């Protein structure tokens, strides 16, 4: 253990003293396997570090294991619809960040009780089954007799039925990564409430999640806390792949170490990526406003309202006004703030009289309730 600590200190000092970038560090170490642990608990910074390693590190003769955790976050897959996958009003109210990752698959919840493990390899060496063997092996190293196994869809389940880990992957031209979660002691109540969408009536060909009953490993064995699990995974990884590299702690916000990483984090955080990359969808919402039966139909492309139709009895609101309102919403982002701005402008410039204003406001409240 002493040599490990010395090596870690050596690595840290070297990185700092020579202001070397992580890339040169990778090139210089000559290690074929490295274990990195993030000091950040920010979902965007950690996903950016994944992007950075994937895009900038030569993984042809090198493998990297990256261990990381986040404060509460909801993470949707690359081809998913966040409105369909989670309770966005609750997510916003609780100040929980929503992230879209670059890998496919379903939506998961993260908090500090959830460990994330990323296996970077060349595309040739990409092997999810073997990686999951490292994870289950690490768990049984800590808790012999624990009944964990990998399923056909690369989940890890406890006692044959409770999911403790979900998997996703990104395969580039020559490099690849496989990342998975591990529920040690996450907030399961928050997990299930944020992953429940309040909306029905969304139609699209976005990837749907596959919900499963979940459990925390710590409920099974108190030895399975996040820090112990991360250490055990690192140790098992080195044994499985025959590496003896040091465990290096990295702060993914340090631009000097990873030139370009802050831009990568900013891109991941942008509205255009998180919401704008949602596959085209349509939403139908029937509702009753002041006794009138109304149906809202919207087509949303690139996160922006492409077409809006409101089926409203003509004696409730004049057809011309309804058409003008729908036109005012076309081209606006499918987002409460932007719709509020558009409807306010519409009411200021187009509407006359308290009756129309009140009815439009009531329509507006129903429309934003699905955003």
Ligand X SMILES: Nc1ncnc2c1ncn2[C@@H]1O[C@H](COP(=O)(O)OC(=O)CCCC[C@@H]2CCSS2)[C@@H](O)[C@H]1O
Size of the site for ligand X (CB under 6 A): 26
C-alpha dihedral sign at 215, 221, 227, 231? negative
Burial bucket for residue 161 (CB in 10 Å: 0-12, 13-18, 19+): exposed
DSSP type of residue 314: T
Q: How far is the CB of 85 from ligand X (least distance, A)?
A: 8
Q: How far is the CB of 157 from ligand X (least distance, A)?
A: 10
Are 281 and 81 in contact by the 8 Å Cβ rule? The answer is yes
Site for ligand X in 146-165 (CB under 6 A): 163, 165
Judged by CB under 6 A, the residue of 96, 158, 168, 310 near ligand X is 168
Torsion angle, alpha carbons of 50, 29, 58, 122, to 10: -80
Are 299 and 307 in contact by the 8 Å Cβ rule? The answer is yes
Judged by CB under 6 A, the residue of 210, 256, 266, 341 near ligand X is 210
Site for ligand X in 178-197 (CB under 6 A): 179-181, 183, 191, 195
Are 94 and 73 in contact by the 8 Å Cβ rule? The answer is no
Are 236 and 138 in contact by the 8 Å Cβ rule? The answer is yes
Judged by CB under 6 A, the residue of 38, 116, 131, 136 near ligand X is 116
84 lines the binding site for ligand X (CB under 6 A)? no
Could you give the CA distance from residue 246 to residue 162 in angstroms, rounded to a whole number? 34
Closer to ligand X by Cβ: residue 208 or 336: 208
DSSP type of residue 185: S
Judged by CB under 6 A, the residue of 214, 229, 296, 343 near ligand X is 214
Closer to ligand X by Cβ: residue 34 or 67: 67
Closer to ligand X by Cβ: residue 246 or 252: 252
Site of interaction with ligand X (CB under 6 A): 75, 101, 105-110, 114, 116, 163, 165-168, 179-181, 183, 191, 195, 209-212, 214
């Amino acid at each position: 253990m002493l040599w490990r600590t010395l090596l870690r200190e050596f690595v840290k000092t070297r990185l700092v003293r020579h202001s070397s970038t992580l890339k040169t560090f990778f090139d210089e170490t000559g290690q074929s396997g490295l274990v990195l642990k993030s000091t950040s608990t920010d979902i965007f910074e950690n996903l950016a570090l994944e992007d950075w390693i994937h895009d900038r590190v030569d993984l042809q003769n090198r493998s990297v294991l990256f261990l990381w955790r986040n404060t509460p976050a909801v993470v949707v897959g690359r081809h998913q619809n966040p409105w369909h996958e989670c309770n966005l009003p609750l997510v916003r109210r609780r100040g929980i960040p929503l992230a879209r990752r670059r890998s496919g698959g379903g939506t998961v919840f993260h908090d500090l009780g959830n460990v994330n493990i990323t296996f970077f390899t060349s595309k040739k060496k990409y092997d999810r089954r073997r990686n999951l063997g490292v994870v289950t092996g690490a768990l049984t190293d800590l808790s012999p007799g624990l009944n964990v196994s990998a399923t056909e869809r690369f989940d890890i389940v406890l006692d044959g039925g409770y999911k403790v880990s979900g998997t996703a992957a990104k395969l580039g031209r020559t490099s690849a990564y496989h990342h998975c979660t591990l529920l040690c002691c996450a907030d399961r109540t928050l997990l299930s409430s944020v992953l429940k969408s309040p909306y029905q009536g969304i139609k699209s060909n976005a990837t749907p999640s596959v919900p499963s009953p979940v459990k925390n490993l710590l409920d099974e064995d108190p030895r399975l806390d996040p820090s112990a699990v991360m250490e055990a995974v690192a140790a098992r990884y080195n044994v499985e792949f025959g590496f003896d590299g040091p465990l290096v702690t990295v702060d993914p916000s340090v631009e000097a170490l990873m030139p370009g990483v802050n831009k990568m984090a900013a891109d991941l955080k942008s509205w255009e990526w998180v919401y704008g990359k949602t596959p085209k969808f349509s939403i139908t919402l029937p509702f009753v406003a002041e006794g009138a039966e109304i149906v809202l139909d919207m087509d949303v492309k690139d996160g922006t309202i492409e077409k809006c139709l409101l089926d409203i009895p003509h004696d409730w609101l004049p057809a011309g006004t309804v058409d003008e309102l729908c036109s005012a919403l076309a081209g606006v982002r499918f987002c409460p703030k932007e719709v509020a701005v558009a409807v306010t402008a519409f009411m200021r410039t187009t509407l006359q009289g308290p009756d129309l204003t009140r009815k439009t406001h009531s329509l507006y409240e129903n429309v934003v309730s699905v955003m």
